[in-house]
Amino acid sequence: MSTLTTDVLVIGSGPAGASAALFLATHGVDHIVITKYRWTANTPRAHITNQRTVEILRDLGVEDDVLAQGTPQDLMGDTVFCTSLTGDEIGRVRTWGTHPARRADYTLASPSSNCDLPQTLLEPILIGHAAERGSRVRFDTEYLGLEQDEDGVTVTVRDRLSGHTYPIRAKYVIGADGGRSQVAKDVGLPFEGQMDLAGSMNIVFHADLSRLVEHRPSVLYWVLQPGSDIGGIGMGLVRMVRPWDEWLIVWGYDISGPPPAVDDAMATKIVHDLIGDDTIPVTIRSTSLWGNNKMYATRYRAGRVFCAGDAVHRHPPSNGLGSNTSIQDSYNLAWKLAMVLKGQAGPALLDSYDAERAPVGKQIVLRANKSIDEFGPIFEALGFTESDDPAEKIANMRARTENTPKAAEQRIALRKALELKDYEFNAHGVELGQRYSSGAVVADGTPEPEHTRDPELFYHPTTWPGARLPHCWLGRDGQKVSTHDLAGKGRFALLTGIAGQKWVAAAELAAKQLDIEIATFVIGAGREHIDLYDDWARLREVEESGCVLVRPDAHVGWRSWALPADPAGDLAAALARLLDRA
C-alpha cells in the first residue's frame, strides 16, 4: 500500500489545529488534519474571543459566523463579585472593554468587536469552513510518533475505529495537540515553568438564571464562599455559556490529594451553593478536572515540526488568552509555510515563527498567572487572610459595611484591589499590542515608539515594523472599509498616499521579480480608497509619499518614510530580506 503524503500534517483540531487548517486551506496548501476524537471539543472551555482573533477570522471571511453565534460585547461586561448569585454583592468590574471610558479604545483599535463564543461552537466553524475549502480531516485518528529527515516527516497514526496503524508522510508538521502535547515532547521542545500548580473542576449545567443576572449581564460571576472548600479561600466562578440558561462553574480542588469523584449530587450541591438557592432546577451536563499550569516553550520548532497553541503555552484561563493566542500562532505560521511551500520564500522565513511567537507565549503565560495572584489583594481587603476560621473570614467580609475607620479603609483597599483586575479583564495592550522582532521584519532604523500609556492595559497603534497594522476606517464605493480589509488574504499589501503614487509601479516590479502578490493601495482624495476622517494620515507615521508594507498576517513588515530615489529597488530589497530571498 502506498504511503499517504501531504505538504502539511496538522495534529489536533482544537483552536490551534482547526484554525491552522482553515488558514492552510484558504492559502491553497495541501494538508491533512488528524484528530484523536470523533468530533471537536466536547466542553465549552474557551469563550472570550478577543478583537485580534475576530479580525483574523474577518480576514478569513468567517467573522459573520462568529458574531452570529457569539454573545455580543454588550452582554459580557458587568462582572460581579458576590457571596452567591442571590447573596451579597461585593463589587463589580466593567470588563472586556465595556467601561464607557474604555469603549473608545476598543472601537478605535479594530474593525471587529470581541465576543463570547464557547469553544464548542468556535471549533465547528473553523473546521467546517476548513473542510469546505479543501482540508482533509481525519477524526478518530491518533498521533503515535514521528521521525524526520532532511526532506520530510513520517508520522505514525492509529485509526481508533479499526485499530489500524499507518504512516503519513508530510513536508511539515504542525503539532497542535494541546497542553499535554506528545508532539512537543517527542521533538524535545525546551520548556520553562511548571504544570499542575492547582486543580480545578468544570461543571457544565443548564439552569434558567435570567432572573438573577439580567440586571447585570456578564460572562463571569465570581463567588466568594469561605469555608465551602477545604483549606482554600472558597472562590468559584459561575460562567455564562449561553445567555442565560447554560453555564459552567469552575471550582477548585486540592491537587495534592487524589482527584475528586464528582458525581451529579456533588456537582448539583456546588451549583446550588454558588447560586445560593437550591430550589432552582439544575441539569448537570458534564464534569471534568483540569490543572492550572505555568509553562511555556522557549522554542516552537524542531526541524520540520512546528508546535502551536497550548502545546507550547500552558496557563490558567485568566485574561481569556489561550484559544486566542493559539489561533494567532497558527495565523502567524500558515502564511509562512504557504510561501515556503510555493517557493516564494526561503526556509529561513520559518525561523521567524519561533522568534515572533515564543515571546508572546511567555508573555501570556506570565500574565495569566499574575492575574491569578492579583486576586490576593481582594482576599486581603475582605479580611480573608487574617484568619483560617471560615466564620471569622465571613465576619471580616461583612465588617466592610460598618461605619468605622477600619471599614472605610477596607472599602478603599477593596476598590483598589478590584481596579487591579483591569489587568485581567481589560488588558487591551496584551491582546492587540504584539510587536514582532525577527528576520521577517525589516527595521527602518527608527527607535521603537514609547508606550504613552500602560502597555498592558492600552494598545498603542504604530506602523513601526513588526507591529500590527493600525486600524482606521477608509471609504470605498461609499462604504466604510478598514485598513485591515486591505491587508491579509494571503498576500502582501502596500499602503501609500497620493504623493507616493510611484510605489504602485515599484510594487508591480518587485512582485514580478519575486513572483509574489502585492496589493497596492493609494489612499487619498479622489482615489478608490479615501481617508474619510484623515485618520490614516494621523496613524501612518510616514510622509504621504512614504509607504507601509503589510505582511499577509497584517503586521508591518517594512516602511519607508518618504519616496526614495529607487522605490522599486528599496522595496524589492526589503522583501528579499524578509522572505529570505536575498
List residues binding ligand FDA (CB under 6 A): 11-17, 34-37, 45-48, 119, 142-143, 176-179, 182, 202, 250, 290, 309-311, 317, 320-324, 326
CB of residue 196 to ligand FDA, shortest distance in Å: 13
* Cβ closest to ligand FDA, residue 84 vs residue 324: 324
* Cβ closest to ligand FDA, residue 50 vs residue 83: 50
CB of residue 327 to ligand FDA, shortest distance in Å: 8
| Cα separation, 306 vs 331, whole angstroms | 13
CB of residue 318 to ligand FDA, shortest distance in Å: 9
* Cβ closest to ligand FDA, residue 244 vs residue 536: 244
CB of residue 314 to ligand FDA, shortest distance in Å: 8
* Cβ closest to ligand FDA, residue 143 vs residue 253: 143
Phi, then psi, of 51 in degrees rounded to 5 = -60, -35
Q: 167-196 b/e with 16+ CB inside 10 Å = b? A: ebebbbbbbbbbbebbbbebbebebebeee
Do 171 and 7 meet the contact criterion of CB atoms below 8 Å apart?
yes
Cα separations in angstroms, 18 against 15, 57, 140, 145, 553: 5, 12, 15, 20, 17
| Cα separation, 284 vs 204, whole angstroms | 6
CB of residue 329 to ligand FDA, shortest distance in Å: 8
CB of residue 55 to ligand FDA, shortest distance in Å: 15
Q: Which residue has the cell 489500524?
A: 164
Q: Which residue has the cell 500548580?
A: 197
Cα separations in angstroms, 333 against 15, 265, 347, 440, 509: 14, 46, 13, 12, 27
| Cα separation, 368 vs 311, whole angstroms | 16
Residue 480 parent element (H or E):
strand 479-482
Task: Provide the greatest CA pair distance for the chain.
Answer: 82
Region of residue 270 (phi > 0: left; psi between -120 and 50: alpha; otherwise: beta): alpha
Do 204 and 282 meet the contact criterion of CB atoms below 8 Å apart?
no
CB of residue 180 to ligand FDA, shortest distance in Å: 7
CB of residue 103 to ligand FDA, shortest distance in Å: 20
* Cβ closest to ligand FDA, residue 119 vs residue 560: 119
| Cα separation, 203 vs 292, whole angstroms | 16
| Cα separation, 226 vs 486, whole angstroms | 53
Q: Name the grid cell of 375.
A: 486576586
* Cβ closest to ligand FDA, residue 116 vs residue 553: 116
* Cβ closest to ligand FDA, residue 325 vs residue 560: 325
CB of residue 538 to ligand FDA, shortest distance in Å: 32
* Cβ closest to ligand FDA, residue 241 vs residue 548: 241
Cα separations in angstroms, 286 against 92, 201, 246: 29, 10, 12
* Beta bridge partners of residue 201, listed in sequence order: 251, 289
294: Cβ contacts below 8 Å, ≥ 6 apart: 193, 194, 197, 314, 315, 365, 366, 369
CB of residue 116 to ligand FDA, shortest distance in Å: 8
* Cβ closest to ligand FDA, residue 364 vs residue 572: 364
CB of residue 428 to ligand FDA, shortest distance in Å: 15
Do 474 and 481 meet the contact criterion of CB atoms below 8 Å apart?
yes
281: Cβ contacts below 8 Å, ≥ 6 apart: 207, 208
* Cβ closest to ligand FDA, residue 204 vs residue 550: 204
Cα separations in angstroms, 114 against 11, 31, 110, 247, 446: 28, 30, 10, 20, 32
| Cα separation, 191 vs 451, whole angstroms | 30
CB of residue 337 to ligand FDA, shortest distance in Å: 17
CB of residue 42 to ligand FDA, shortest distance in Å: 10
* Cβ closest to ligand FDA, residue 252 vs residue 500: 252
Do 32 and 168 meet the contact criterion of CB atoms below 8 Å apart?
yes
* Cβ closest to ligand FDA, residue 143 vs residue 464: 143
* Cβ closest to ligand FDA, residue 12 vs residue 488: 12
